[in-house]
Every structure is written in structure tokens, then in C-alpha cells.
Amino acid sequence: MDDRLFRNTMGKFATGVTVITTAVDGEPYGMTANAFMSVSLSPKLIVVSIGENAQMNARIAETGEFGVSFLAENQKDLSMIFAGQIKENLNVQFKWQNNLPVIENALANLTCKVFNTHVEGDHTLYVGEVTSLDVVEGNNPLIFFEGKYQEIH
């Protein structure tokens, strides 16, 4: 099967956009990811999928914990910064939640402890047990569909 056909077909599934974060020796790092899913209510588990070339793998392996921030529609620049698509003005203000850096003014911020990992093909699935939640009401999400950012109208 052709890679492009696979990617284009998966792009028909509209998602929100998250930033996965962690801190190594107090230094915050983030990466943009839309492969996020809520998994279980008891215990409270979520999963994110991270490609084998991402530096975030080594960082999460070191810290054993990560944050997930659901981006709001006015946070497209942050998505681009943490996907390496914007390389200037990288002075991002994080806020700290449960000793993890998360994105200020995101729709919701979770912190997680790594509960399990599964290497599947060229990605690793990180199952996280949610250790804290913070929700901000009233904003719309940033949407990713057909390889482009979209907003709800």
C-alpha cells in the first residue's frame, strides 16, 4: 500500500492538537502530537503515540512522566513551534502543574505518569495514568484535518 494514500486517508480523521511536555533537570521540552486518545476511566488512562525519531522518547524514558496540553484555536503558533515548523521566537512561557511544564491558556492540561509503553511499528504508544487535570472553559479547540489547521465556525 502506498504511504501517501495511507497518510491522506488518516488525514480524513479530524483531531484536536496537543503538546506533549516533560522536563529534564528542570528544563521544559515540548512536541506537537495529534495522536492522543482517552483509554480508561478506572484507572484513568490516556495514550499518545510518538514516532521513533522524536527526541521526546529519550526524554520521557528519563523522566517517566509527561504533560498533555489540548491547544485552543488561537494557539496554532505553539503547535508550529513544537512541531519544528517555526524556529524563531521560541521563548514559550510554560506554567507548572504537578511539577511538569504545561502550556498556559490551553483548553485543558493533564499530567501523567508512564503506566505502560508499547513499541508498535515505527511509533511508541505511551499509556499515561492521569495524575492531575486542569480545564479552562469557553475556548474553541485547534483542529487538524487533511494535513491543515482548521477552526470551528
Measured from the CB atom, the residue of 88 and 137 that comes closer to ligand FAD is 88
Selected from 22, 75, 79, 111, the binder of ligand FAD by CB under 6 A is 79
CB-facing half-sphere around the CA of 137: CA atoms within 13 A: 0
Q: What is the DSSP string of 92-120?
A: PPEEEETTEEEETT-SEEEEEEEEEEEEE
Selected from 66, 70, 82, 126, the binder of ligand FAD by CB under 6 A is 82
Touching ligand FAD, residues 33-62 (CB under 6 A)? 33-35, 49-51, 54-56
Q: Rounded to the nearest whole angstrom, what is the least distance from the CB of residue 20 to ligand FAD in the complex?
A: 8
Cis preceding-peptide flag for 43 (omega within 30 of 0)? yes
Measured from the CB atom, the residue of 26 and 43 that comes closer to ligand FAD is 26
Measured from the CB atom, the residue of 26 and 84 that comes closer to ligand FAD is 84
Residue 124 CB partners (closer than 8 Å, separation 6+) = 49, 50, 52, 57, 117, 118
Buried b (16+ CB within 10 A) or exposed e, 143-153: bbeeeeeeeee
Report the alpha-carbon distance of residue 35 to residue 121 in Å, rounded: 15
Q: Rounded to the nearest whole angstrom, what is the least distance from the CB of residue 138 to ligand FAD in the complex?
A: 23
- Contact flag: residue 29 with ligand FAD (CB under 6 A): yes
- Contact flag: residue 68 with ligand FAD (CB under 6 A): no
Candidates 3-11, 29-37, 64-72, 114-122: pick the segment binding ligand FAD (CB under 6 A): 29-37
- Contact flag: residue 125 with ligand FAD (CB under 6 A): no
- Residue 141 to residues 16, 64, 69, Cα–Cα distance (Å): 6, 28, 11
Contact yes or no for 67/113 (Cβ under 8 A)? no
Residues contributing to the site for ligand FAD (CB under 6 A):
17, 28-35, 49-51, 54-56, 79, 81-84, 90, 92, 144
